[in-house]
Amino acid sequence: MSLATASYLARRAAQKERVRILYRRALKDTLNWAVHRHLFYPDADALREKFEANRDVEDIELIDRMVAAGEATYNKWRHPDPYIVPWAPGGTKFCRNPPPPPGIEIIHDYGREDND
Amino acid sequence: MASALRSAILHHVRVPLSRTLILNGSRTTAVRSMSSHGDDHLDKQEVVERVLDVVKTFPKVDPSKVTPDVHFQKDLGLDSLDTVEIVMALEEEFKLEIPDKEADKIDSCPLAIEYIYNHPMSS
């Protein structure tokens, strides 16, 4: 049965990781929707309450279904224009000024010719 | 006559760019010499102070227990969701974007300090 066997523990650990990643994305999304901090804090507290309400569920199948439902809700509520740090993929500065390939240099002589 | 003298002097004075690129030998491949980003690499003490400040101002944390080698769940008695919140606060403090898988592994202060210190874009 599903007592403290290794596969059960591995499955629970994977579920916990899914829950943490879901919480992280949902929190970032909450910040995207509620841009101002005074609106963000109550929304973040409400999100935390939703996660805390299901804290003591033990049935593995039920946990799987709840996490899937949570991810579906997250996908439905994703912000169309999230804030991404500029240099990260998806940000505005990503790949903007890639470093030049090595060995190529620019000699800044500003068009000065030798008979000047 | 004067122009020949001038060109001779200028020929002497002209320094090709290849020599000026040997500023900081280990970092020239990673950092462009004239660009104004990426050269403000933080030093370790500043990273430690800022990380500890962020952790201390977390509402569920007792500030007197926070040291640079504290584990969020074992020593501070926090939850895994609280750890997620702390990592998000650190991301906002240092203007980083940490991928989900790596953010999940940040579990304690020394790990966070190491990660932020070694990240090239932290500021």
pLDDT at A4: 73
Determine which of B34, B73, B84 to mutate to test the interface with A (most A C-beta atoms within 10 Å): B84
Helix, coil or strand: residue B110: helix
Instruction: For residue A87, give the chain B residue with the closest CA.
Output: B121
**Residue owning tokens 């969020």:** B72
| pLDDT higher than 70, residue B43 | yes
A116 residue type, one letter: D
Average pLDDT along chain A: 89
Write the CB contacts of A102 (distance below 8 Å, at least 6 apart in sequence): B29
Average pLDDT for B64-85 = 91
Contact yes or no for B81 and A17 at CB 8 A: no
Q: Which residues numbered 37-76 in B keep a CB inside 8 Å of some CB on A? A: none
Query: Is the CB of B35 inside 8 Å of chain A's CB atoms?
Result: yes
| pLDDT tens, residue by residue, A76-86 | 999 999 999 99
- pLDDT tier for residue B36 given thresholds of 50, 70 and 90: low
Long-range contacts for B50-55 (Cβ within 8 Å, ≥24 apart)? B50/B93, B50/B94, B51/B90, B51/B93, B51/B109, B51/B112, B51/B113, B51/B116, B52/B109, B54/B86, B54/B89, B54/B90, B54/B93, B55/B86, B55/B109
- Partner B, chain A 32-51, Cβ-Cβ below 8 Å: 48, 51
The reply to whether ipTM tops 0.90 is no
Strand (E) or helix (H) holding A2: none
Token pair for B22: 């040997």
Mean pLDDT of B42-61: 91
pLDDT (average), residues A28-38: 93
What confidence score (pLDDT) does residue B26 get? 44
Confidence (pTM): 0.75
Percent of chain B with pLDDT over 70: 68
Give the pLDDT score at B29: 46
Phi-psi region of A90 (alpha: psi -120 to 50; beta: other; left: phi over 0): left
Question: CA–CA separation, A59 vs B26, rounded Å?
Answer: 54
Asked if A51's CB is within 8 angstroms of B81's CB, the reply is yes
Q: How far apart are CA B18 and CA A107, in angstroms?
A: 8
Closest Cα to residue B102, out of B89, B92, B111?
A: B111
The pLDDT of B18-31, averaged and rounded, is 45
Cβ separation B97–A84 shorter than 8 A: yes
- Which residues of B are known catalytic residues? 79
Q: What is the CB neighbour count within 10 angstroms for residue A111?
A: 6
What are φ and ψ of residue B4, in 5° steps?
Answer: -65, -40
Q: In this predicted structure, what is the pLDDT of residue A55?
A: 86
Residue B39: pLDDT band (50, 70, 90) is low
Contact A21 B100 (CB under 8 A): yes
